[in-house]
Structure formats: C-alpha cells, structure tokens
Structure 1
Amino acid sequence: MFDPAQHSHRRLNLLTGEWLLVSPHRALRPWQGQQEKTEPAQRPAHDPTCYLCPGNVRAGGQQNPDYAGTFVFDNDFAALLPDVPAGGLNVDGLLRAEAETGVGRVICFSPRHDLTLPEMSPAAIRGVIDVWVDEYQALGARPDINYVQIFENKGAIMGCSNPHPHGQIWAQRSLPMEPAKESTQQAAYFREHGRSLLADYLATELREQQRIVLENEHWVALVPFWAVWPFETLLLPRRHVTDIAQLTDAEKDAFADALRRLTTRYDNLFELSFPYSAGLHQRPTDGQPHEGWHLHMHFYPPLLRSATVRKFMVGYEMLGNPQRDITPEWAAGRLRGLSETHYKLG
C-alpha cells in the first residue's frame, strides 16, 4: 500500500500549479551525526562602520537620523529605478525586452545592530508590521506601481550584505512571476468556488494537524504540503484578507507574536541565527479587486541538518522540477517540538 512517508511521489503546489518530487526513502533517518554550530562573534549594539546604524553615514554622504524604532529610506543601490526611459526590444518576436520602472526601499527593523526579529519584543515587531502597512499603502497608491514586494534576506548565505536587522521593498510596474502564478491560481479557485483557496487549504491543514507548527488566535504557521525547502513554512491569517492593510490591530499584534515565535523556533533548530528569505505575498495594487487573493508570508530557509549542511537546487531540480528528501510532515514535527524560548536565553 502506498505510504507518502516512505514512497517517492509528486505533490502539487496549489499556489503555483507546479509539481515537486518527494523522495522520503532517501532520508528515512536524516538526523545523524554531530550538528555543527557556526555562530559569528557577538555583534555590538551599535557599529560605527555599519551604514544602517543610527547616526552613521551611508553611500553618497547621506546620514542616518538618530532613530529609536524603525527607519525607512530609498535604497542607495536600488535594482528598480523610477526614471527608466520607455521602450524595449522585439526581434522577430523571439528576442524581447521591455523597460521596467519601480522603487527600492530599505527598512531598518531596529536601531540595535545586534538584534534579529526573534530577539526583538512583540511591540518592536509590531512597529515593523506598521511600517509594512504604511509602505504598502503609500507605494501601492502610486499610478506607476502595480505590485509591492516586501521581503527580508537574513544571513550571509542568503545574500544579506549587512547583519543589521533590516528588510527591503521592491515596488514595480509589472507583476513578478511568483505572485503572478499565485494570482492566477487563487483567482481561478475563487471564480469556481466563491471562496479563498488558502482559506480552504488552511481549514484542511487545521483538520489534519500534520503540518501545523504553531497557532494563535489569528494566525497559523505550517509547513505547506508542497514545501520545497527543508524547513519551509507558510504563515497565514485565519481570516480571508487580501492585503496587510486590511488587518485589524488585534491581527497585527497576533502577526507580531507569530513572527517572533516562528523565527525563535528557527534559531533553536540548530542553535544559531537561522538564515532564510521571507516575504509577504498579497493583492497587487493595480486597482483591481483581486477578491481571491489571501495574504500570506513565505519563509524559505536553506539549512538541512546543520549550519554547514544546506539544500541546493542542482541537477534534476534545475532541469526537471524541485525535489526533497525529508517530508513536510517530518519537518513540521521537528519545528513543532522546539522551544519558544530563544536558545541564547535558555
């Protein structure tokens, strides 16, 4: 009899319509051997050489204010610019390019150089969420912006060039590929059923209780059934809201609580500051209702067994489709069993 915990199989990603291969027989006993820990030296609360710390000078001579909470500014090296000339390229319909405009913003989560999200208070994290709301609304109201991507890269192996706690916003004219796939899937489901795809999916996950990591009154963190990365998670509001601006104060407080608890579990997994790329996916800002959209946050961490063992997308995954060895159910159980007291305080 087929057993998904033992036999190779494919799983469908409801949000993208894409498949991945799961091969649990390759890692029936994945937790073997010494778990190496690689922690950098303790960082100071203020680093005079850090271009994100309060009062310090950034590129081009801009000086940061002596901020006490969050601090937001235009990225000094933004990948998207608002003043790109219109135009493009089309050769035989085969070589195509088009100008893309947008804005890049940086959000410093805290004036403290030595903190990360799990080490911040719920009130301080709530301050970050409030900034996300303000930026989503302000950038999304611009006629030249149709999508606002809020994200955080944490850790040097995720391309983060500065350990100061911060995230980014890339807001642009066109809809990027990943949100575009999710928009198509969610819209189709809503047209057919009149309900949110992710609301129905969450109801199934809550009934099964196999992949839930943590819950509070308004949010649920889980390892999605179709997870690609070893300890990938999806953070979902219980209520169907299309964007972060629709959250109530209670839901924002609960969001801060869930973020702190989830990222603390990540750090406790290998007892180190856990790297990941994380970001919000929400309704495009093109003026359309997008009723099927359901706000959610993805966490994509690369570590598999320790600080030095990580997952790479190579070979079959680059040429065929994504593949994983440990099952999402196993990963959820591992995360669920971790303490919510940060290992530095234990």
Structure 2
Amino acid sequence: MARLPDFEAWAVFAVVADTLSFARAAEELAVSKATVSKAVSRLELRLGARLFHRTSRRLSLTEAGRTARDDAAGLLAAGEAAEARARDASEARARDASGAPRGRVRLAAPMSFGVAHLAPVLPDFLAAYPEVSVDLHLSDERVDLVGGGFDLGLRIAALPDSSLRVRRLCGVRRSLVATPAYLDRHGRPAHPEDLKAHACLGYAYLPTPDRWHFSNAADETVSIVPEGPLRANNADALAPALRAGLGLAVQPDFTIWEDLKSGRLERVMPDWQPPPIALNLVMPPGLPRPARVSALIGFLERAFSEAPWAQPEPAAQAPLPSPAEAQALT
C-alpha cells in the first residue's frame, strides 16, 4: 500500500506559512513549538526540500515553500470543512431532547457592514442562545464559504445563480451623495454626464470600479468613468473625504442613512439610480442545517428586515443589473 500523505505536517506547515512564525503557529494550534518544528522538519524530509529560510530573527519561505503554500492552505481548509460538516451532522442526530441550539456558527460578512450593523446586534443573539458561539470573519473580499468552512455569509449584491442557497433579507438602496457645501460650490449635477466635471470618490470592490452605471424610470442607462482624488477598498475609508466635501460618492444607505437624516449629506440626481442590490444570507448547499445555524438565520432575518435603512422591495422601475454588476460582493 502506498504511504499516506502526512496531513498533520501539511496542516502545520500551512499555519506556519501564514504566520511566518513557529511560536505564533504553536499558539494558534495549541501545541508546543517543538511539535510545530518537528512537523515541518518531517514534511521537509518527505519532500526532499527546505520550506523555510531560518535565521535568529526572521523566518521566510523558500521557493519550494512558496510553491507548497497554496496546496497546504487548500488541504487545511478542506480538512476543516470536512470536520465541520461531520460535526454538524453528528450534532443534528444527537441533539438533546430540549432541542436547544448549541455549538459554533462560522459567519462571514463585509467589513464595514459587519462592524457598523452586524456586530452590534450579535450580543442580543448570544444572550438569547447562551450555548451558541459565533466565529465572525470580516472582509470586503469575496469569501469561499465552502472552502473556508463557513456556515453562513452575508453578501450585499445582486447575486448571480450559483450552488449556494440564498435568502434575501432586505433591499439596499444605493445613492450618489455629497455634502451640501460641496454641491453649493460645484453645482448639483442633474445627469450622469455632468459628473465628468466633478470629483468622484471611488470604491475599489465595485464590479466595475472604473465605471459607474446609472438608470432612470424610462429604462435609459448611462455609464460614466469617475475621476477624483480618492479610491479605497473599504467604504468607511471614503467617509471622511466625503463628509469633508471633497467630492461625491455612490454609497449604500446603511452607511449614510444617519448623515442623510441629519442633513450632513444630500442625495444627488435622485432621478438616476445605480443598479439595485440586496442584503442576502448565503449558505452552502445541503440539509439538514444544525439548530444553531437556523437560529442565527431567523435572528438575522428579523434584525435586518426591520432596519431603518432597509428597503422591503427593490425599486419598481429599476432595471435588472448588468452581468458585471451581478458579480458584486461588497
């Protein structure tokens, strides 16, 4: 029989390659530094190549280590996902008679939305379900739910078809906004073409960050190339420049609704809207879902369907998003 791969060594190597520290990897894995060192040495012996350059002050990947890093990360993620699925199935079968949800839920969400809106409601969930814990991962980059072993993800987008199960929580309006002071100085654009004369603050994770799309009630569509002093990969990073009156930006209502209510910001070109999006819960395929996951789904549905910025339905006149817009995951 062929010798099996040393999966433990591959997993340990993946963590060391990510942290570039034997000590931090040992702490993350809850094992001794010696155990980590032996696992890496074992893998190097099997591969016949050194994976790290080691000095007294620094650890860095060799060429062989860089080549092996992605494979190791994939093996670790696959193993974690397999264990999570098996554990979920076991817990679903062995749930106690009371049916009380228990265990950990891994949840992924966009950074700005997660900090401003998701994190504040989670204490109520945790108080209601004291035997459930939440492992929250915040990132504006697209997250592989299946490969990363996540139970749920929040995505703010017009989602394309996929194997993931999707539950729409609410519509999210996006608007072009600026401060009244900026508009008083530079004028209020009435048509997307007018934006060529304005400073535009851009969000890098739009599906087409170099082009903004607008449509009106007559189904006319206009695209423009925004130009301005700042583009960022996080919506919160645009807020100071926007509030300082340095330009206009397309922002979802959940980031600006209080500024609009107070008058700090003003909607611009209300007759022209960006493509509609929604706040969605996405889940890996397959049933049954553990009680803890179902409990969190129900809680988030209630919390966000009643949010002050939530739109119960997309605008009736809004056209369908373009294929590029449909790939947005902000």
Under TM normalisation by the shorter chain, which class is it?
under 0.3
| TM-score, normalisation: structure 2 | 0.25
| TM-score, normalisation: structure 1 | 0.24
